[in-house]
Amino acid sequence: MAENLIKPENLVYEKTKVLTDRVMHYCPGCGHGTAHRMLAEAIDELGLQGETIGVAPVGCSVLAYYYFDVDMTEAAHGRAPAVATGIKRVFPEKTVFTYQGDGDLAAIGTAETIHACNRGENILIVFINNGIYGMTGGQMAPTTLPGMKSSTSPRGRDVATMGNPLKITELIAQLPGTYFVTRQSVHTPGNARKTKRALKKALEYQKLNKGTCFVEIVANCPSGWKMTPVQSNKWMEENMFPFYPLGDIKVPE
């Protein structure tokens, strides 16, 4: 009988308590759900739920505060690092993170991103890069690849007129305020586990007041890219990863 098997000693997986039971609004196959889970598990495993304050962005993860069971503030578009700065400065002992997409972090919020990193704010910035504006319906993002189609680059991104994709993670890694900068993905169980390790490391560094930790997660957007989830993951591996190679960019010496 199955009922007899459901016992604490037989448990191999349990949803972290840092995620609420609310059904996520993300599209099927989207990377946000896994990214949320990795961050929530990292917070849970380090015992930080009661002292964590998160900052949600504007974009697909605008409602992230419904899913993370921690105190959260919803920031204006691009302003999450400034909001997080305000929180961290009045609560230096709390754990503070922002969770932002590419449009939020690397277009409208570039100034806030760079200056928070340059001040070395003791916060974790989680950056979801899927190369597209998901929530507004698939427009070009600052990280959209050359030639990549979107509703505002219907013939593909023409870098001569639309500019180049911005490798903001490499850019902020140059700043003395950043301590740990890495690029990960969550499209396979192995990658998801690596992402969680990186997030845990970043949260631990925050406790040690080491400076800004920055975890980019390259993610798929099946709806925006107009692909099935499986196709989108394959496309990501073949197109996104060569341009945005996975791995640590800045590690503590």
Q: Which residues bind another protein (CB under 8 A)?
A: 20, 49-53, 55-56, 62-63, 65, 68-76, 79, 82-91, 94, 111-112, 115
Q: Which is nearer to another protein, 87 or 236 (CB)?
A: 87
Q: Which is nearer to another protein, 115 or 149 (CB)?
A: 115
The minimum distance between CB 134 and another protein, in angstroms, equals 16
By three-state DSSP, how is residue 228 classified? Answer: coil
- Strand pairing class (212-218; 124-129): parallel
For residue 126, list its beta bridge partners: 99, 215
Give the dihedral sign, CA 152/158/163/168: positive
Distance CA 78, CA 168 (A): 14
Q: Which is nearer to another protein, 113 or 232 (CB)?
A: 113
Distance CA 61, CA 74 (A): 10
Pull the structure tokens for residue 130: 């899927």
Pull the structure tokens for residue 135: 């929530």
The minimum distance between CB 187 and another protein, in angstroms, equals 28
Pull the structure tokens for residue 194: 């690596």
The minimum distance between CB 112 and another protein, in angstroms, equals 5
The minimum distance between CB 108 and another protein, in angstroms, equals 10
Q: Which is nearer to another protein, 90 or 160 (CB)?
A: 90
Task: Tell me how far CA of residue 38 lies from CA of 111, 165, 179, 244, in angstroms.
Answer: 27, 27, 21, 20
Distance CA 52, CA 67 (A): 14
Q: Which is nearer to another protein, 100 or 232 (CB)?
A: 100
The minimum distance between CB 135 and another protein, in angstroms, equals 11
Residue with tokens 């199955």: 2
Q: Which is nearer to another protein, 111 or 230 (CB)?
A: 111
The minimum distance between CB 215 and another protein, in angstroms, equals 20
207 close to 239: Cβ distance less than 8 angstroms:
no
